[in-house]
Amino acid sequence: MSGPKVGLLDVETAPLTSATWGLFDQNVGLNQIHEEWTLLSYCFKPLGGNKRSIEYQDNRDAAHPRDDSKLIHRLYEILNEYDVIVAHNGKRFDLKKIQARFLLLGYKPHSPVKVEDTLLMAKQVAAFTSNKLEWLSTYLSTVPKSKHREFPGFELWAECLKGNPKAWAAMKKYNIPDVTSMEQVYLKLRPWVRGAVNVAVYDNDDDTICCPVCGSSNIQQDGWTYTQTGRYKRYHCLDDSCGAWSRSRYTMNTKDKRKSLLVA
């Protein structure tokens, strides 16, 4: 099984700075912005890779802590290399922020990449107390989200922008567990999701039936699935790390049966 190249990604951004006249319910005009946001750091890990495969980069050695040109260059390479990117709130935040920086720095479009968003996956399959990665990682992984207690709240970002080496070290300790915990959360949620990436499509073997969720060939037919107009073979993945259910693409109805069916 060749399968798609899947990677997990998390980015941290430097906030924009602006002038306001209060703390609550402010409407900031464009001419009140002093500095635009940029990327501050990222962590990337190939799905299933070991600790040595984790890639972390930040702006600590840049001429200015808001200079994210090296980060953007490497992220452009990653997105051109991988088929699927997993990110928590990735569709609304991480990938859009990255692509905003690509555009502003003059990059051409990267190759098409699918995004598996663990936030949307959690919302689809269950009614958890919270869909935040902090909560999900506590209960669905062995790697709870870092608290960066030495630099609580916004202080961590502020100190990184000041060039504080201890803050940069804390940022790395904060960023990396987000990805390692997200990997476990993703693998727990993935068998429950409907409409996830069909990894079997990426297999070069034409006639082996594989689980569309994890790609395992350890799969067996187990009953039938019925729709309004068709009967399909139902399959169950027997891989211990998966257990997903799927169905065949083609109906088992005869031609005469298909003609006789009515839809209410």
Contact partners, residue 260, CB within 8 Å, separation at least 6: none
- pLDDT-derived band at 149 (thresholds 50, 70, 90) equals confident
Structural contact between residues 82 and 95, judged by C-beta atoms closer than 8 angstroms = no
pLDDT recorded at residue 73: 98
**CA–CA gap between residue 255 and residue 248 (Å, rounded):** 17
Cα torsion for 21, 23, 25, 26, to the nearest 10°? Answer: 30
**Four-residue CA torsion sign, 168, 169, 171, 176:** positive
Per-residue pLDDT tens for 51-90? 999 999 999 999 999 999 999 999 999 999 999 999 999 9
Helix spans in 162-235 (H)? 165-189
**CA–CA gap between residue 217 and residue 237 (Å, rounded):** 8
pLDDT recorded at residue 207: 82
Is 60 exceeded by the pLDDT of residue 232? yes
pLDDT recorded at residue 203: 80
Contact partners, residue 184, CB within 8 Å, separation at least 6: 137, 140, 141, 142, 143
Summary mean pLDDT of the chain:
95
pLDDT recorded at residue 231: 95
**CA–CA gap between residue 9 and residue 242 (Å, rounded):** 22
- pLDDT-derived band at 167 (thresholds 50, 70, 90) equals very high
Q: Is 211 helix (H, G, I), strand (E, B) or coil?
A: coil
Per-residue pLDDT tens for 4-60? 999 999 999 999 999 999 999 999 999 999 999 999 999 999 999 999 999 999 999
Mean pLDDT to the nearest integer, 209-216: 94
Is 90 exceeded by the pLDDT of residue 144? no
Domains annotated for the chain, with CATH where assigned, are: 6-20+29-192 (3.30.420.10), 210-260 (no CATH)
Contact partners, residue 117, CB within 8 Å, separation at least 6: 86, 87, 88, 89, 90, 91, 92
DSSP 235: E
pLDDT recorded at residue 219: 96
Per-residue pLDDT tens for 94-128? 999 999 999 999 999 999 999 999 999 999 999 99
**CA–CA gap between residue 128 and residue 122 (Å, rounded):** 8
Structural contact between residues 167 and 173, judged by C-beta atoms closer than 8 angstroms = no
Cα torsion for 135, 136, 138, 144, to the nearest 10°? Answer: -90
pLDDT recorded at residue 1: 52
Q: Give the percent of the chain with pLDDT over 70.
A: 100
Q: Is 139 helix (H, G, I), strand (E, B) or coil?
A: helix
